[in-house]
């Protein structure tokens, strides 16, 4: 959303995200246009001696490639998404204009820590001396981590929810948002192409970040802000976030994969109108699958699958774990075969949800 707003404001905007869904080139964009394969090849050939000497990870090479591309193409500003954590992430070598931290949830516990405070501390590692920081949500028991870190680095800190809040409602058969700044209506009936309920939290961090960027001298009008939000999918190519793939039956996919993401997805599923729910589901084996499965509805028809990656949990193993928790269905290992099986069993009034893993969503043929 930030990249789209900056692009609408006339800035040549770089965007680095991970992972990709379909093509590696999705990770590195300028004004929504993906990096070319020719550039990737020439870059790798150019730094091959360094790769052989240093032996960096795949992610580290990708980050360096993005930075090199943004410098070569002379972007005005770049939005860089951290890969994992923050403190030790390779993206953290930069000295940014602004650091942004979204709400903290359970993910990568084996690496980031077994408490939300420990995870927040790793995220807080992107806070730099004197650089402003926006935290999307003031969360009880976690806010202190950011307060202490920003005080230590003398970085101006603001929690977006201290100033902004949003109210969701249905508007012309779509979800719209009324945005309030210090309890004063700022935007009414804002319809985002990103219709996930969780975007009502994300947008608050975006709005406060825009305020800070303005204070830093970036020229962003209210019109730029609204256009950027309304064109976020077309201007950035973002996929897989509560993306509707079909209407009769309703077919939706979402890349939410940790307990917090799945909770938001399930809440949104429960808001939909359908006769029977079908869930095409696969996970990676390094997740606490029991915790995620307990969040899913018991009365759905499940189709357990696995992405074609080494990290994918075996669909039969997933089936057995799910059955022990009262979630029943069939095993169809191939993602698209599982989707076709769900479509064969679904009536026009049913709903099919596809998810559990970014890698499952990535394999959907018509994404």
Enumerate the domain spans of the chain.
2-236, 243-362
208 near 163, Cβ under 8 Å? yes
pTM of the predicted model as reported, rounded to 2 decimal places = 0.86
What does CATH list as the number for 243-362? 3.90.190.20
pLDDT at 173: 60
Same CATH fold assignment for domains 2-236 and 243-362: no
pLDDT at 352: 98
pLDDT at 109: 66
pLDDT at 110: 63
| Two structure tokens written together for 281 | 């589901």
| Two structure tokens written together for 36 | 């070319």
pLDDT at 323: 96
Give every residue of the chain whose pLDDT is below 50, as ranges.
none
**CATH architecture for residues 2-236:** 3-Layer(aba) Sandwich (3.40)
Tell me the C-alpha distance between 241 and 260, whole Å. Answer: 14
Tell me the C-alpha distance between 208 and 88, whole Å. Answer: 26
| HEC string for the chain | CHHHHHHHCCCCEEEECCCCCCCHHHHEEECCEECCHHHHHHHHHHHHHHHHHHCCCHHHHHHHHHHHHHHHCCCCEEEECCCCCCCCCHHHHCCCCCEEECCCCCCCHHHHCCCHHHHHHHHHHHCCCCCCEEECCCCCCCHHHHHHHHHHHCCCEEEHHHCEEEEEEEECCEEEEEEEECCEEEEEEECCCCCCCCHHHHHHHHHHHHHHHHHCCCCCCHHHHHHHHHCHHHHHCCCCCCEEEECCCEEEECCCCCHHHHHHHHHHHHHCCCCCEEEEECCECCCCHHHHHCCCCCCCEEEECCCCCCCECCHHHHHHHHHHCCCCEEECCCHHHHHHHHHHHCCCCCEEEEECCHHHHHCCCCC
pLDDT at 139: 86
């Amino acid at each position: 959303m930030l990249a789209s707003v900056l692009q609408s404001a006339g800035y040549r905007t770089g965007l680095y995200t991970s992972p990709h869904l379909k093509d590696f080139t999705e990770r590195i964009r300028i004004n929504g246009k993906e990096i070319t394969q020719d550039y990737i090849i020439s870059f790798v050939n150019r730094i091959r001696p360094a790769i052989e000497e240093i032996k960096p990870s795949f992610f580290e090479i990708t980050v360096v490639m993005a930075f090199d591309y943004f410098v070569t193409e002379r972007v005005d500003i770049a939005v860089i998404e951290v890969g994992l954590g923050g403190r030790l992430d390779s993206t953290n070598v930069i000295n940014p204009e602004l650091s942004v931290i979204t709400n903290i949830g359970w993910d990568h516990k084996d690496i980031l820590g077994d408490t939300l405070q420990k995870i927040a501390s790793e995220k807080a590692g992107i806070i730099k001396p004197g650089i402003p920081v926006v935290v999307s949500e003031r969360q009880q028991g976690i806010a202190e981590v950011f307060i202490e870190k920003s005080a230590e680095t003398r970085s101006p800190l603001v929690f977006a929810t201290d100033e902004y809040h949003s109210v969701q409602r249905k508007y012309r058969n779509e979800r719209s948002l009324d945005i309030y700044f210090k309890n004063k209506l700022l935007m009414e009936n804002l319809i985002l192409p990103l219709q996930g309920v969780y975007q009502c939290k994300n947008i608050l961090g975006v709005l406060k970040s825009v305020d800070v960027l303005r204070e830093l001298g970036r020229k962003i009008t209210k019109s730029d802000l609204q256009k950027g939000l309304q064109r976020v999918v077309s201007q950035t190519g973002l996929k897989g976030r509560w993306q509707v793939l079909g209407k009769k039956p309703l077919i939706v996919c979402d890349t939410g994969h940790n307990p917090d993401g799945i909770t938001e997805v399930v809440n949104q599923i429960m808001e939909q109108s359908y006769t029977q729910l079908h869930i095409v589901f696969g996970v990676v084996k390094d997740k606490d699958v029991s915790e995620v499965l307990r969040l899913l509805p018991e009365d759905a028809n499940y189709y357990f699958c696995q992405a074609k990656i080494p990290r994918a949990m075996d669909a039969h193993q997933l089936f057995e774990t799910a059955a022990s928790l009262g979630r029943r269905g069939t095993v169809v290992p191939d993602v698209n075969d599982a989707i076709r099986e769900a479509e064969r069993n679904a009536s026009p009034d049913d709903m099919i949800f596809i998810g559990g893993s970014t890698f499952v969503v990535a394999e959907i043929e018509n994404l």
